[in-house]
């Protein structure tokens, strides 16, 4: 069967500054943490040794072209542009981003730019990071500077990439700096991120720029083990905490009332100011990026909560390992292709069918060299992964979902936070020693699909 996509469908991939550019002058929380605890990073590889995009941007954009991308998302590094977060703008960073943006446009590849992709300037973390409202103001100024510098040529902006992840990693589950475990502080970080998002949207609208502004959220559909009311309730609370805590403010302009009531009853609400609600209402977006990797399966708790243990989302559910689930064993994530369709249908039916696109989807695989045939990685598993997801995406579109494109994570193998270079996601293989780039089979498959705006599958 032939799966054809609408005209002007966005075909591309996503990456981020910290994961691709390489070392910079401004220190981030990642540089700081790596210097202190290199053991927390796979093979002791830190964020200064990423994929040398800072040097190779021009030839890398040629490769994007070869992959027939018509769009590409990356981020601006706040710490590169404004090394101390609040002061002088670094002119070399302005030159760099200008060159990248201009070259993308010249090659017919529409730049999609994220303002914050997990890379907090250390100077901002030192004053409390997202726990401090001054950082919200500093971020707003940074966003405004980006709009002024690049807003004439960048028409698709994203305030944050997966804003829940620094909340989970930094304040609940110990996989981002500052490695705190404290729900109320996590809630404050999440809340201030929403305020920062809304202020950036407000500033963008006030500037009357030609483009549009949105956010990228990792939506993880919550599936209950069964239709038993206790399981359904567990899935509902997981959905409130991990999806709707950002989805509702950015699409509906307000938090779900039951999430607020739940946190209030456990005395976990962040401090709010009376003017915040009006600001949040102004943060409604033009375009939603959806990152989809895995579903969340939950069941009601089997055991009582230990009241001495820190308050956690898991007070309300247990994770459920569904028998027979398909796993990506390298990343430990379930692969469930219909999830992408369920997300789109939920957006269509419950959120007014917003303009959206799949901004990340992907499969990290360890030790991919074993699949080399005639000098090229033959990653059939990735082609299978993409085409299966695309058939579900296609079904969503044919049923009226407003999905405008599909971006893969990622373009060239890049540095994955604590996993460093363990799992490879790219369409293009990166040899870490020589920095040589070689297109994988999946890259060729994607290039053909983008060119034809369709693919064939039985």
Given the rule CB under 6 A, which residues bind ligand BGP? 16, 19, 161-162, 165, 218, 291, 331, 360, 364, 409, 416-417, 419, 423
Closer to ligand BGP by CB, 168 or 231: give it: 168
For the bound state, the minimum distance from the C-beta of residue 219 to ligand BGP, rounded and expressed in Å, comes to 12
**CA separation for the pair 47, 39 (Å, rounded):** 13
Closer to ligand BGP by CB, 52 or 453: give it: 52
For the bound state, the minimum distance from the C-beta of residue 162 to ligand BGP, rounded and expressed in Å, comes to 5
**CA separation for the pair 245, 256 (Å, rounded):** 8
Closer to ligand BGP by CB, 224 or 295: give it: 295
Helices 91-106 and 53-66: crossing angle, nearest 10°?
A: 10
Residue 334 backbone class (left: φ over 0; alpha: ψ -120 to 50; beta: rest): beta
For the bound state, the minimum distance from the C-beta of residue 255 to ligand BGP, rounded and expressed in Å, comes to 23
**CA separation for the pair 19, 311 (Å, rounded):** 32
For the bound state, the minimum distance from the C-beta of residue 258 to ligand BGP, rounded and expressed in Å, comes to 26
Closer to ligand BGP by CB, 196 or 280: give it: 196
**CA separation for the pair 20, 411 (Å, rounded):** 10
Closer to ligand BGP by CB, 311 or 415: give it: 415
- Token pair, residue 240, equals 């409130």
Q: Which residue is nearest to ligand BGP (CB)?
A: 416
Closer to ligand BGP by CB, 50 or 70: give it: 50
Closer to ligand BGP by CB, 60 or 360: give it: 360
For the bound state, the minimum distance from the C-beta of residue 442 to ligand BGP, rounded and expressed in Å, comes to 16
Residue 417 backbone class (left: φ over 0; alpha: ψ -120 to 50; beta: rest): left
Closer to ligand BGP by CB, 377 or 408: give it: 408
- Asked if residues 300 and 236 have their Cβ atoms less than 8 Å apart, the reply is no
**CA separation for the pair 234, 211 (Å, rounded):** 40
For the bound state, the minimum distance from the C-beta of residue 330 to ligand BGP, rounded and expressed in Å, comes to 9
For the bound state, the minimum distance from the C-beta of residue 362 to ligand BGP, rounded and expressed in Å, comes to 6
For the bound state, the minimum distance from the C-beta of residue 257 to ligand BGP, rounded and expressed in Å, comes to 29
How open is the CA angle 369-418-26, to the nearest 5 degrees?
A: 115
For the annotated catalytic residues, the residue numbers are 162, 360
């Amino acid at each position: 069967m032939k799966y054809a996509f609408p005209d002007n469908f966005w075909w591309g991939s996503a990456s981020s500054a910290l994961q691709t550019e390489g070392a910079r002058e401004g220190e981030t929380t990642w540089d700081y943490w790596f210097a202190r605890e290199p053991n927390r990073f796979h093979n002791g590889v830190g964020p200064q040794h990423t994929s040398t995009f800072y040097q190779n941007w021009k030839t890398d954009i040629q490769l994007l072209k070869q992959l027939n991308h018509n769009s590409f998302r990356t981020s601006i590094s706040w710490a590169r542009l404004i090394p101390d977060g609040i002061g002088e703008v670094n002119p070399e960073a302005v030159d760099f981003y200008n060159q990248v943006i201009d070259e993308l446009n010249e090659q017919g590849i529409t730049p999609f730019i994220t303002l914050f992709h997990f890379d907090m300037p250390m100077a901002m973390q030192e004053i409390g990071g997202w726990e401090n409202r001054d950082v919200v103001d500093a971020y707003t100024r940074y966003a405004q500077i980006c709009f002024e510098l690049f807003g004439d040529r960048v028409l698709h902006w994203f305030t944050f990439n997966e804003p829940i992840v620094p909340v989970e990693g930094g304040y609940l589950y110990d996989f981002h700096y500052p490695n705190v475990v404290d729900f109320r502080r996590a809630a404050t970080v999440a809340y201030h991120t929403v305020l920062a998002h809304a202020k950036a949207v407000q500033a963008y609208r006030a500037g009357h720029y030609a483009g549009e502004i949105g956010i990228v959220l990792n939506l993880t559909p919550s599936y209950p083990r069964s239709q038993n009311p206790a399981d359904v309730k567990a899935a509902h609370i997981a959905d409130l905490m991990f999806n709707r805590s950002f989805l509702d403010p950015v699409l509906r302009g307000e938090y779900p009332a039951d999430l607020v009531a739940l946190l209030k009853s456990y005395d976990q609400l962040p401090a709010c100011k009376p003017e915040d609600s009006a600001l949040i209402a102004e943060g409604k977006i033009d375009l939603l990026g959806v990152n989809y990797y895995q579903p969340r399966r939950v069941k009601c708790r089997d055991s009582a909560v230990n009241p001495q243990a820190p308050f956690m989302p898991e007070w309300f559910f247990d994770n459920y390992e569904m028998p027979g689930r398909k796993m990506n064993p390298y990343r430990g994530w379930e692969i469930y292709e219909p999830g992408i369709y369920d997300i789109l249908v939920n957006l269509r039916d419950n959120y007014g069918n917003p303009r959206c696109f799949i901004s990340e989807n992907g499969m990290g695989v360890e030790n991919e060299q074993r699949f080399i045939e005639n000098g090229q990685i033959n990653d059939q598993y990735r082609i299978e992964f993409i085409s299966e997801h695309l058939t579900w995406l296609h079904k969503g579109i044919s049923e009226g979902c407003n999905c405008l494109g599909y971006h893969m994570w990622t373009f060239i193998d890049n540095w994955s936070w604590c996993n460093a270079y363990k799992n490879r996601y790219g369409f293009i293989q990166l040899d870490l020693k020589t920095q040589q780039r070689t297109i994988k089979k999946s890259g060729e498959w994607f290039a053909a699909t983008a060119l034809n705006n369709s693919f064939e599958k039985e």
